[in-house]
Structure formats: C-alpha cells, structure tokens
Chains A and B, each alone.
Chain A
C-alpha cells in the first residue's frame, strides 16, 4: 500500500474528496474537530448532527453516527439524544445562518437550560449555500447578493456577536469560545476543551469558528486569508469567553 493522506482517524476515507468548495473553511474546522475526537478517543460514543446550509454537506464526512436536521434544529435533536442516552457525546454542527438567524431560538433555549451538549458553529459572514445573501454576521460594508452596496449598519445592524450572547446567558459550567481557521492549533484546543466539558457533564459547550467562503466572497487565496485576518478578526475577537469554574463574571448572583 502506498503512502496515504494524513487524515484524522475519524474521517471517512471513502467519501473524500469531500463535497465542499475549494478553499472552504468547513474542511479545516472539521479537520480540527476530527483531530479533537481522535485525541480524546471517543469515536464510538460520538453522535454528530449537522444542520442545513453548507454544513449539511458533512453528512457523510465522518466515520461517526450522523443525523442531519433543518434550520438550527440540530441543537434540540442533539438535546433529545443526549437526554435519552446520557453516555453518548453529542456534537451539533451548524453555520451562522442556522445557528444565529433562523434557529437562534433553539440555541438560546438550550443555553438557558444548560443542556450538556457541544455546539460548533461555523461563521462565514453570509448564507453560502443559497448564493451568498446577507446573514446576521455580515460585516459592515461587506458586499453580498442582498447588500450590493455593502451592509449598512443603520438599516440592518451590526454583526451578531454569538459567543458574547451565549456567555451572557450561560450558567456556571458552560464553556464558550471563539476560534479561527487561521489559528488551527488554538481552534483544536477549544474544540477539545468543549468536548471534555461535555464528557465531564459540566454544562453547555459552544465554540464558534471563523470560517472562509472564497466562492461567495469572490476572493482568491491571498484575499481569503487577508479577509479573515484583517476584516473578520477586527469585528470578532477570538478567545475563551467563559470556562467552567470562572463563575458568572459581572452578573454574579447574590448568595
């Protein structure tokens, strides 16, 4: 047998090359997720749920049990699986359209109930599968199909800050972080911590990953990297927003 690609063990080899566009950030986020699953050795216990949008193209991506649902419903479906079989490790994977726009109520409710699941959200600043329309995370001045002159914050608001919102309403034990595909080692670490948080049963785990969409941004490779590193990092701060044991921060309850 010849030298084979260095794929994570949890990747399904017979479905590669995967269905994402050239240069898509989903491949990189799922590579980090696969490495995190490999390092923890939990392939036989993971249930992977993908949402609608480009993220559904990962339905045959992993050698893991996979469910595909619609419009942010991945979070409640994973919640149900976790409640029925608490020994399983449930990962809900979605895009910013499913998680922050049409399915934000499920995300908010799950955080509010402190469900012991892991949510991984890919933020590529637009609805990529339908052709690049404006999403809640679109940057001010960014041109999309529905904002041809650039997004006007006076009319449509500023980019949606997901991890900030989740950390504001999350209870003690939650893990909230934002990583980026331009720093994959950090992103793998966040995903691993989020999975460990679920395994330990502390509470809700949420990781947003800044992703790339060269097809709808209409960027070449160098413009893609500069858009992520300069434009996106200017609006979305990476880092850990809430870790178990850090308390409630500024909104600590009187005890």
Chain B
C-alpha cells in the first residue's frame, strides 16, 4: 500500500513539472499530446520497469500532459508571472 508518492520535480522556466515514477506506466500518451514536443523518455524506470518521462525547458506549462495522463503520474504547477 502506497499512500505517499515520491515525485521527480523539474524546475523549468514556466513551471514546476513533476513526474511520479511509481505511477508512470510508460504508455507515452503524453509524449504524443504535448504541443511543443518537450516530453521524452528518461532513464528513471516507472511502475512496470518501463522508462518514465521527463520534460525540458521548451515546456509552455499548458497542462495537457497532466490532464491526459491516465494514471495521474504527471503534475504541473505554473510559476507565477512577474507583475508588470
């Protein structure tokens, strides 16, 4: 029983992008749905021993990956923009 998941948070320009390898099954749906192709396979293994995903700085923090993940393995927290 797992009640607390350990995430890998990436500090990107537009937001904090977190993947939970214990939940990621490596289906790759997020890689296809990302509008800027910033998600790719990583070296960290996921729930079934398949590669989990990672993101890079091209991320625009749209949140589609968080929405489309069937396992809720992705989480995106937008950074607050500076007020002008």
Chain A interface (Cβ within 8 Å of chain B)? 1-7, 11, 13-14, 16-18, 20-28, 31, 184, 214, 220-222, 224-225
Which residue of chain B is the closest to A30 with respect to CB atoms? B70
Knowing A17-B71, A225-B33, the reply to whether A3 touches B66 (Cβ < 8 A) is no
Q: Are B50 and A22 in contact (CB under 8 A)?
A: yes
Residues on A with C-beta less than 8 A from B23 are: 5, 16-17
Residues on B with C-beta less than 8 A from A214 are: 27
Contact of A225 among B1, B9, B32 (CB under 8 A): B32
B40 CB to nearest chain A CB (Å): 12
Residues on A with C-beta less than 8 A from B3 are: 13-14
Residues on B with C-beta less than 8 A from A25 are: 70
Q: Are A224 and B29 in contact (CB under 8 A)?
A: yes
Which residue of chain B is the closest to A15 with respect to CB atoms? B1
Of listed A1, A5, A6, A23, residue having the most chain B CB within 10 A:
A5
How many of chain B's residues touch chain A, expressed as a range?
20 to 34
Q: Is B54 an interface residue (CB 8 A)?
A: no
Q: Are A22 and B72 in contact (CB under 8 A)?
A: no
Q: Are A20 and B7 in contact (CB under 8 A)?
A: no
A6 CB to nearest chain B CB (Å): 5
| Cα distance, A28 to B50, chains bound together (Å) | 20
| Cα distance, A124 to B21, chains bound together (Å) | 27
| Cα distance, A13 to B20, chains bound together (Å) | 13
Q: Are B26 and A3 in contact (CB under 8 A)?
A: no
Q: List 28 A-B contacts (CB under 8 A).
A: A2-B4, A3-B7, A3-B18, A3-B77, A5-B7, A5-B72, A6-B72, A7-B72, A14-B1, A14-B3, A17-B23, A17-B25, A17-B71, A17-B73, A21-B25, A22-B48, A22-B50, A23-B28, A24-B27, A27-B71, A31-B70, A31-B72, A220-B28, A221-B27, A221-B32, A222-B32, A224-B29, A224-B32
B9 CB to nearest chain A CB (Å): 6
| Cα distance, A199 to B20, chains bound together (Å) | 36
B2 CB to nearest chain A CB (Å): 7
| Cα distance, A3 to B3, chains bound together (Å) | 12
B24 CB to nearest chain A CB (Å): 8
Q: Are B29 and A16 in contact (CB under 8 A)?
A: no
Residues on B with C-beta less than 8 A from A17 are: 22-23, 25, 47, 71, 73
Residues on A with C-beta less than 8 A from B6 are: 2
| Cα distance, A184 to B50, chains bound together (Å) | 26
| Cα distance, A31 to B23, chains bound together (Å) | 14
A125 CB to nearest chain B CB (Å): 18
Residues on A with C-beta less than 8 A from B25 are: 17, 21-23
Residues on A with C-beta less than 8 A from B16 are: 3
Q: Is B57 an interface residue (CB 8 A)?
A: no
Q: Are B73 and A5 in contact (CB under 8 A)?
A: yes
